[in-house]
């Protein structure tokens, strides 16, 4: 039985958009399962799953209404379409019911996937792997030194960002500038220690190192 949909959906732009969205969605699900099954994944897999493919998915979804709008506009100009300012939804029409069901189910799946994806993307961009191997690949010496330091078990963001949304946003905005510097090859060589840009120690370091608990290294008798 052929699925009946509104006439405006029958255009190449919407068809291409739906195809892109479906393919992207299934690839995301497949790679997500792979990343859960095999813990040792490629450092760039997270970028593909949580950033690149979702962007392509959203573009595909946007192409669907864009194609419908273009087709309706062309039909109005040619005199084939009805002169209506707004679309009319009639649930007595099986095509409208099918379109509404697809839209409702698709929206629910998309919102659920977006919630999970946003959560995973947040944690991935906060991970040591992302900082050391993906985002700051030009800082390999610092990353190697960190892995062999007393703070090797402390995540990078615990000291460089800390808690709170304000510093999280500041770090991501600063990261965009740093990404541009890496792509344009305009960053300083060697990279200077960002002492001036770090968050105050009382808001990060002192979460673990309490000044009240400091003690002398000398044993006094």
pLDDT tens-digit map of 152-174? 888 888 888 877 777 778 877 87
Give residue 81's pLDDT: 59
> What is the rounded distance in angstroms from the CA atom of residue 177 to the CA atom of residue 84?
47
Residue with the larger pLDDT of the pair 192 and 107: 107
Q: Residues 30-58: what's their mean pLDDT?
A: 78
Please check whether residue 55 is in contact with residue 49, taking contact to mean a CB–CB distance below 8 angstroms. no
| Structure-block tokens of residue 166 | 């304000």
Give residue 59's pLDDT: 93
Distance of CA 107 to the CA centre of its chain: 18
Give residue 145's pLDDT: 84
Do 103 and 185 sit in the same domain of this protein? Answer: no
Domain that holds residue 201: 138-210
Close Cβ partners of 114 (under 8 Å, ≥ 6 residues apart):
54
Q: Which of 64, 84, 60, 63 is nearest to 73 (CA)?
A: 84
Residue 79: pLDDT over 90: no
Residue 121 within a domain: yes
Q: Residues 94-122: what's their mean pLDDT?
A: 84
Give residue 137's pLDDT: 67
Residue 178 within a domain: yes
Q: Residues 120-126: what's their mean pLDDT?
A: 78
> What is the rounded distance in angstroms from the CA atom of residue 202 to the CA atom of residue 208?
10
Do 114 and 188 sit in the same domain of this protein? Answer: no
Residue 110: pLDDT over 80: yes
How many domains is the chain partitioned into structurally? Answer: 2
Residue with the larger pLDDT of the pair 63 and 177: 63
Domain boundary among 85, 102, 125: 125
């Amino acid at each position: 039985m052929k699925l009946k949909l509104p006439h405006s959906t029958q255009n190449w732009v919407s068809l291409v958009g739906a195809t892109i969205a479906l393919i992207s969605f299934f690839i995301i699900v497949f790679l997500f399962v792979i990343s859960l099954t095999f813990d040792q994944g490629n450092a760039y897999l997270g970028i593909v799953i949580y950033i690149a493919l979702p962007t392509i998915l959203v573009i595909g979804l946007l192409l669907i209404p864009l194609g419908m709008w273009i087709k309706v506009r062309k039909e109005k100009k040619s005199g084939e379409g009805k002169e209506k300012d707004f679309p009319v939804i009639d649930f007595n029409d099986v095509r409208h019911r099918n379109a509404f069901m697809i839209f409702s189910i698709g929206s629910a799946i998309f919102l659920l996937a977006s919630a999970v994806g946003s959560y995973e993307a947040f944690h991935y961009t906060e991970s040591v792997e992302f900082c050391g191997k993906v985002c700051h690949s030009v800082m390999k010496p610092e990353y190697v030194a960190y892995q062999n330091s007393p703070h090797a078990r402390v995540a990078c963001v615990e000291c460089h960002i800390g808690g709170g949304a304000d510093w999280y946003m500041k770090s991501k905005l600063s990261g965009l500038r740093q990404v541009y510097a890496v792509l344009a090859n305009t960053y300083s060589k060697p990279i200077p220690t960002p002492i001036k840009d770090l968050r105050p120690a009382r808001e990060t370091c002192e979460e673990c190192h309490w000044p009240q608990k400091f003690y002398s290294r000398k044993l006094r008798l």
